[in-house]
Structure 1
Amino acid sequence: MHPALEQTDLLLLIFERLELHAHSNREGTKQPDLLRAALTCKTFSDVALRIMWKRLDRIHHLLRLIPGIVMRNGFCLFPVWEPVAACHIQRFCKYASYVTSLDYSGSPKIHPSVCEGLQSLRLSPVLPNLQQLNWWGVPIDGLLPTLVAENSSLLSMDISLRPESNMPDSIAELQAIVHKLHTHGPRMQRLRLTDIPVGVSLQRLAQLKHLHDLLLWFETYTLSDIRPGDLLTWDTFHAMSPFDRFRRLDIDVSNLHLPSDCPSLRFVALEMLTLRGPLSLATALLVHIQSDTLMSLNHSGIDPDSGLPALLNTAPPFPHLCHLRLEVPHTLSRYPGRDILSRFLLSPRLQTLDISCTPGSILFSKDDFVEMAHAWPQLTELSLTVLRSRDIHVDGPDARLPSVPLSVLEAFARHCPELREWSAPVIYDTPLQTVSPPVAHENLESLFVSTPAPDTPTAGEAARFVYSIFPSVQTIYERAAYRTIEAMVRCLRMGRQDFLSGNSEWDSESGEGDTASST
């Protein structure tokens, strides 16, 4: 790199040469030509910056050569943690009208000279055509009016509201940002606020009447920390109506207590819904939501109450639901699996099911899974995960895993032809008979049974059973030191069955029998 050229100068040189070559060669210019021109030319023009915004995607390989420039996810990141000369700030502002998207990560912080320089120019706004603002790390209250004008064309904002400290003035600064969102982006369609302190009020968000994608993530808290006006309240949520415009919602319901006379909430375009917080409150909201378009439903929360199954059974069906994820951690209650899923059995288009629970909290029977196989012919992925936590201490018979009889795989092989991945703890309900006639399900790629076979004969039965219904499966994971069943299925695929007889011993460490293999 030329030692006499500053970082900004070299960048401008590259873009100037790109502009000159673009006029003479429609096919563009190769990297060595541009680099050579940039290192030898002594002058540059302002037109180079205009070219930068228009052709950034075509010259990423050149930007990597500039010291200090970081390329991440297709974006060019310029470090600004050192003092920036006023001439460079003025040059940037001259071409800032071409900027439609701005990303800032606050580690390290912006150097104070940048903020002071932008504000001293008294050019409000600096970014008049900004449509997307992503800002993480430090509060932007002082910069927001400088960068974005009131009633701007801003359509999308992704902002971290993590305070620099828990001092009242820091929280007040974040509150001021939330209050100004509707003035700077009245036509905003997508808003994502993360790391929101519990004490920040969200009441002004109801004035954003064009939102169709809303995500609200709060800092870690306990239920005892919540005061009446904290988090998302029913008054704020109800003020966001009409709900027809919403397509994606990701909200915390820990303080969303519905009134006894709560009306039905009609969502005509909702595609993805994520509810965080106590499952009882999430379910209380869910039973009032009417949507024929919902395709993905997710929940992550704590402490469901004893009335949960009865409440779930009153939830309206979602005929177009494709993805369902439920998380039920930190509870000593125990629910039959069918009571949890009965309403979702009315969603014939379901493709993925992901349930996470603590040991013993949800109990499934074999009939429950057979009914799932019949109800969801388009199912592609099924996952049943047992959550482990240092805070959970369950002993005795209730500490059992929500295991699935291995034999139910036959029902899924017959009725779910698109099934690609299965993951669940199993019970080896021997004797397991080879399915006849064979099902020959060809699409299953991964079978995570999570539980190792107790002995070699049981593993042999399981291998023969699995091979008779899923002859093409490549990965069988048993959560054991050696994948005995997978090795046995591989032998069956090669025509070997000697390990199934009592005349040979299976060496689980090597994954092979002691008899000579025939390949």
Structure 2
Amino acid sequence: MRALDIPEIPSQVLDLMGESDKFASALVCQTWSSVALDAIWRDLDELIALLYLIGDVTTIYNFKTRFPRTRQHVEFSQSLEGTDWSRFDSYAARVISLNWDSKGLSFSPTVFGQIAAARPGSKPLLPNLLSIKWAAHYDVDTDHMLHFLSQSVTFLHIQYRDTCTASHVTALMSNLATLAPEVSELTIECSFRVDRVDEALSSWIESLKKLRKVTLPRCFGSPRIVKALGSLGGLESVSGDVKPSETTEHADVILGTYWSLPSNAFQKLRFIDFDATLAQAVELFSGPPPPDLRGLWLAVIGPATNAIIQTFFSALVTWCTDLEELSLNLVSTVTESRERIRFKTLDPLLQLRKLQKLQILHDLSIYLATDNVEAMSLAWPCLVQLSLRGGYREEVSRTSFSILESFAIKFPYIQRLAISLHIDRDAGVVDSVPATFTNLRELHLDTSSIREQQLLPVATLLSLICPPGVEILFGMTKWHQEALRQKRFHAIGVHDTGLIWRRIANGVRSYHRVHQSDRNPEMTATYFRYWFASQS
């Protein structure tokens, strides 16, 4: 076997060369094997590579955009007579995934018309395409996407940016229903309110008989869209908003439409992700849940009195007792500034413990102190993933390194744990611990508030309680890295500073805020992903 027959090798070579040279690999490297070329062309991020296979391409600049920025337009410099379409088809047939963002670079309106006029036959440009992710910044960009839709497409993710108009999108959706009828996963992002296109959108949804997963902004914001979703019968996952506006009366209409649907409308629905007020969430919990619901992500905002919060948790744990995955993002509007609700006790955890099948709990904010974790009376044997936000250092009564030991005792089967550590400045070195994480695979620690001299004790503790092979995500400064190397932690990745969105597993979101230091730029915190080699 030749080296170029191994798919990974030419892929790495092209990564070094740059995506713009992908077309050159098709024109020059004719000795590459079919397996290698399949791997190279499988995922296409630069459509210009395809155009180079058709004819000579030139770039012009258009200064007549709405915003003061230069936008490049790609067009053919001459006619397409004499194009070797068999060569083009041999590479186009290999493309399975297309990811295109038109920001700063688009196609002349005549490009695809020229291709359609010159190309023999009527088959799609990319006949085996399965997945499309298309970011349109102008109305003309949405028109270009139509040339790549076919009955083979099953995954469609469309982003309509600021300059796309609702009227143009409405006209486009009538074509989408006929060009891509086999779509099973649909995601739409737009800057305008989706209820402005709800008639066209609901008609399109009703035509997608194989649709299983849908993510729409304000997808519960229109009774018409709710009815369209309910008519599918086989829907498994819905992500979107419940509230269409700040008026609770309108929300009551939406929920009334939801409950008025046939009992089997959402019989296969396993996942819901929505935003609502606390009152709307409690109202939602008053009706029957979908019979097969397993996952629920809630972003809840509203006046958060103790009585409302108590009612919210009581209604939640009785609404769907079979939940396996839960994410709670609770925000209070009692004051003018919207603040995340941070619980000073573990009462919410004790309430959620009633969900006996719950395996994944994420995003709950609790003041993590050693005393309240130790006081938690119930172990949680079924929980395998847990992500908690901690309180600020000055708000925590007493926190020490032994808090991790308490987690190891209370959650013996935990596999992925994400928490914030805010350690007392006087906390000492831990030499031994009676409990260890026996099943832990990933540990996400926001340690950006830990002092430099405290990181070595933290690393010592982790070497005692974590089994070999655990991957740990640290937030730290570069001065802390040597302390970790002393404990046989090996860096395997670096993450950018700022707000990090990390998927732990099964779509569970983990948010971490990296703290910046104003005193010294060298103290800017960075996330390093480490692998713990051994305990020796």
- Residue 238 and residue 401 in structure 1: after superposition, are their counterparts in 2 closer, same or farther (change >3 A)? farther
Matched, 1:86 2:83: no
Given that 1:175 and 1:201 are in contact with CA atoms closer than 8 Å, whether structure 2 keeps it comes out as yes
d(CA) in 2 for partners of 1:434, 1:12: 59
Task: Identify the residue that residue 387 of structure 2 maps to in structure 1.
Answer: 382
d(CA) in 2 for partners of 1:114, 1:291: 48
What are the equivalent positions in structure 2 for 1:94-243 lying under 5 Å apart? 95=89, 98=93, 101=96, 103=98, 104-107=100-103, 108-118=105-115, 120=117, 126-127=123-124, 132-137=131-136, 138-139=138-139, 142-143=143-144, 148=149, 152=151, 154-164=153-163, 170-198=165-193, 200-203=196-199, 204-205=201-202, 206-207=205-206, 208-217=208-217, 232-242=221-231
Matched, 1:326 2:319: no
Match of 2:36 among 58, 63, 67: 58
- Residue 121 and residue 341 in structure 1: after superposition, are their counterparts in 2 closer, same or farther (change >3 A)? farther
- Distance apart, 1:173 and its partner CA: 0.7
**TM-score in terms of structure 2 length:** 0.57
Q: Secondary structure at the match of 1:263?
A: helix
d(CA) in 1 for partners of 2:268, 2:397: 35
- Residue 404 and residue 424 in structure 1: after superposition, are their counterparts in 2 closer, same or farther (change >3 A)? farther
What are the equivalent positions in structure 2 for 1:349-360 lying under 5 Å apart? 349-355=357-363
Match of 1:423 among 405, 419, 422: 419
d(CA) in 1 for partners of 2:326, 2:252: 26
d(CA) in 2 for partners of 1:326, 1:355: 6
- Distance apart, 1:380 and its partner CA: 4.1
- Distance apart, 1:243 and its partner CA: 6.4
Q: Secondary structure at the match of 1:181?
A: helix
Q: Secondary structure at the match of 2:273?
A: strand
- Residue 141 and residue 116 in structure 1: after superposition, are their counterparts in 2 closer, same or farther (change >3 A)? same
- Residue 426 and residue 286 in structure 1: after superposition, are their counterparts in 2 closer, same or farther (change >3 A)? farther
Matched, 1:254 2:243: yes
- Structure 1 gaps of 5+ residues are 1-6, 19-29, 35-54, 64-69, 219-229, 388-396, 492-518
Matched, 1:441 2:442: no
Higher alpha-carbon Rg: 1
- Distance apart, 1:78 and its partner CA: 2.9
d(CA) in 2 for partners of 1:245, 1:101: 25
Identity across the alignment (%): 14
Task: Identify the residue that residue 221 of structure 1 maps to in structure 2.
Answer: none
Task: Identify the residue that residue 273 of structure 1 maps to in structure 2.
Answer: 272
* Cα-to-partner distance string for 1:147-169 (whole Å, 9 max, x where unaligned): 657xx56433222222536xxxx
* Cα-to-partner distance string for 1:398-424 (whole Å, 9 max, x where unaligned): x83698675443342124244454422
Given that 1:279 and 1:328 are in contact with CA atoms closer than 8 Å, whether structure 2 keeps it comes out as no
Task: Identify the residue that residue 27 of structure 1 maps to in structure 2.
Answer: none
Q: Secondary structure at the match of 2:107?
A: coil
d(CA) in 1 for partners of 2:398, 2:448: 9
* Cα-to-partner distance string for 1:216-260 (whole Å, 9 max, x where unaligned): 248xxxxxxxxxxx9832442133215641222221233171447
- Distance apart, 1:116 and its partner CA: 2.9
* Cα-to-partner distance string for 1:420-457 (whole Å, 9 max, x where unaligned): 5442234659999989982243455647363757898x
d(CA) in 2 for partners of 1:211, 1:148: 16
- Name the aligned partner's letter for residue 59 of structure 1: L
Task: Identify the residue that residue 311 of structure 2 maps to in structure 1.
Answer: 310
d(CA) in 2 for partners of 1:466, 1:405: 13
- Residue 88 and residue 302 in structure 1: after superposition, are their counterparts in 2 closer, same or farther (change >3 A)? farther
What are the equivalent positions in structure 2 for 1:330-341 lying under 5 Å apart? 331-332=338-339, 334=341, 336=343, 338=346, 340-341=348-349
Given that 1:280 and 1:305 are in contact with CA atoms closer than 8 Å, whether structure 2 keeps it comes out as no
Q: Secondary structure at the match of 1:240?
A: helix
- Distance apart, 1:482 and its partner CA: 6.2
Matched, 1:290 2:289: yes
Q: Secondary structure at the match of 1:239?
A: helix
d(CA) in 1 for partners of 2:133, 2:93: 17
d(CA) in 2 for partners of 1:157, 1:343: 39
Given that 1:405 and 1:428 are in contact with CA atoms closer than 8 Å, whether structure 2 keeps it comes out as yes
- Structure 2 gaps of 5+ residues are 1-20, 52-56, 58-73, 245-249, 489-535
- Name the aligned partner's letter for residue 116 of structure 1: G
d(CA) in 1 for partners of 2:287, 2:109: 49
d(CA) in 2 for partners of 1:180, 1:201: 14
Q: Secondary structure at the match of 1:448?
A: strand
d(CA) in 2 for partners of 1:478, 1:144: 41
Point out the structure with the larger strand share. 2
What count of residue pairs does the alignment treat as equivalent? 413
**TM-score in terms of structure 1 length:** 0.59
CA RMSD of aligned residues (A): 5.5
d(CA) in 2 for partners of 1:10, 1:426: 53
- Residue 478 and residue 295 in structure 1: after superposition, are their counterparts in 2 closer, same or farther (change >3 A)? same
- Residue 484 and residue 59 in structure 1: after superposition, are their counterparts in 2 closer, same or farther (change >3 A)? closer
Matched, 1:400 2:406: no
- Residue 354 and residue 77 in structure 1: after superposition, are their counterparts in 2 closer, same or farther (change >3 A)? farther
- Distance apart, 1:320 and its partner CA: 5.0
